Structure 1
């Protein structure tokens, strides 16, 4: 789609699911462009701008936005940094239609981090700027309700995160069966809870593989596991591409016990590899996930323990059957084949 610009403060791999979602949408509309203040060195097709300070202020980005075509569309991703604020203010000033996707950043659980600063910033800056959007985009029905309370006079639309349909890679029997967590290692992801539950199950003859880039929280958890002396738990660092697909495919189950999420892409990626996924109601996945080979729980010790024990008793045929059903469900509800027409209609309605 011509003159469509995706604007976010960070599209590097460290940004986690935001990068995946933004790049996936851009691939569906290859004439659109991504503008950011932070990217990875190999992201040649993404235009980045110099930034400074904790707000990632970028005068260069603001200037660039002011000189874009008047018939542009802005799709703003995220809510807390200068990139989003200046994009919304520029769009309003130049009568450029724009849509804001918060990517779950206004979910109640996340307000607990830096609560006072976030509330002040919302009231003083972002609320009035984003309220002028043509649409606010929610990824789940629950997020849609929350956003409608924050922006009562703006239309809030709901389109889920989506994934490309790909073939299942060939399975290889691992030396030892394993459970898998893969993603950004952050306190909201429930990785520490997963470690606590797993280490309490001393007789469980499984490994736990934790995959994600190293950061401060990951190092804390590595130190904790070292003190626990549980050799079944392995931290593999960042894994990408075909290696990631094989990790998904060969896992007995994928587990993402997140406290707050909006249809985490890793859940969809694992399911696309026909692997059963245990995750939480707080991810906003459709409740029918439970009826189609997956399992939704609340992120607490008791429910996660029960889910791990249940899945550890699946036979190979039970595990494969659940994984295949979940893959078919994801294709039906979360594939780009189903969701691209929704985005196309939404963008066309903004012209």
Structure 2
């Protein structure tokens, strides 16, 4: 079987979709399903993106919508050569380009599936400060986006929570089929001393225990709440380990404000984006992983931490929180100041034995629910 994945960008620094696609393709390949990607943008020369599958770049897109005549031309010529089309993400031109290309086919056409990756979550329409973006999305939905949803043979979701939330956001919403196919991550490489050394070099931690946030430095992720709660508890005398906040976005206005917020605490570290051995060293070396996000469809970094046997302290806006809570692999609270404070206080209250048990349960939860083998198996059964 031959699949074409259609996306608006494959730069790993742009967010989780490109990473999810890479993981998904690897899992499908293990089942004998062949994948290619077509993406708006220019070819990347970064060794980090030296992928083992073909990526057809169709040139830079225009405007925030990423309009691309190159993408439309490529789809018109090549779509019929694939058994299935998997459209990743919404709100940009690539979805409409697929809709147009499919409608232009005379005769048998490939199956079409859409994976929103959380982009139908009502949070994006309701969050404070997103009024103009929510209006833009509403207009795009009414004029364009509902078309690809309604002609698709199926809509794929990463978890049951995402599927339920998608029904609450826009009207008309009448997909032919809704399927929870999951999303997994590859098993991490075994721990090596090189990983620890790479992380120590990036962060200058000197082999100390620490709490870890690893992700895009963005208000949506609740980073400001995390820093607030950390500083507040330390001022009250709580004995907290150092806090590492790693990821891209420190040069944005929000990132700069976070660094100013933490300016007078010598135990908050900002190593920037970590990759390769340094990233895995960060996961393996932390006491627990934190993600107090206001909206998180899946949370790849959450699952990577669990794969390394690390407990996760998350908000109930991370859509896989129920699975994690049920498996005992972490702690869950509200995405509020009090909620983040409770996460830290409750973690500190655990004994070393309880923390070790939670670590073991986190690893088991990964193997049982979130491994790439399990997720790709579900997806493969739907596609074949």
Both proteins in one fold, TM over 0.5: yes
Q: Structure 1 residues 36 and 180, CA, compared in 2 at 3 Å: closer, same or farther?
A: same
Within 5 Å, which residues of 2 pair with 1:94-133? 94=105, 95-111=109-125, 112=127, 113=130, 114-133=133-152
Q: Which residue of 1 aligns with 2:37?
A: 34
Within 5 Å, which residues of 2 pair with 1:292-311? 292-311=328-347
Q: Secondary structure at the match of 2:4?
A: strand
Within 5 Å, which residues of 2 pair with 1:153-302? 153-166=175-188, 168-169=190-191, 175-202=207-234, 203=237, 204-214=239-249, 215-216=251-252, 217-226=254-263, 229-285=264-320, 287-290=322-325, 291-302=327-338
Is 256-265 or 333-342 further displaced after alignment?
A: 333-342
- What is the RMSD computed on CA atoms of the aligned residues? 2.0
Checking the alignment, whether the CA contact within 8 Å between 2:214 and 2:301 is kept in structure 1 is yes
Q: Which residue of 1 aligns with 2:200?
A: none
TM-score (norm 2): 0.84
Q: Structure 1 residues 248 and 174, CA, compared in 2 at 3 Å: closer, same or farther?
A: farther
Q: Secondary structure at the match of 1:310?
A: helix
Checking the alignment, whether the CA contact within 8 Å between 2:185 and 2:370 is kept in structure 1 is yes
Q: What runs of 5+ residues in structure 1 fail to find an aligned partner? A: none
Distance in 2 of aligned mates of 1:322 and 1:64:
49
Q: Number of paired residues?
A: 345
Distance in 1 of aligned mates of 2:315 and 2:300:
13
Checking the alignment, whether the CA contact within 8 Å between 1:147 and 1:156 is kept in structure 2 is no
Within 5 Å, which residues of 2 pair with 1:326-337? 326-337=362-373
TM-score (norm 1): 0.92
Checking the alignment, whether the CA contact within 8 Å between 2:303 and 2:366 is kept in structure 1 is yes
Q: Secondary structure at the match of 2:262?
A: helix
Checking the alignment, whether the CA contact within 8 Å between 1:13 and 1:40 is kept in structure 2 is no
Q: Deviations over 1:171-211 (max 9, x none)?
A: 86964321110011121111111111111012333111000
Q: How far off is 1:334 after superposition? A: 1.1
Q: What runs of 5+ residues in structure 2 fail to find an aligned partner? A: 197-204
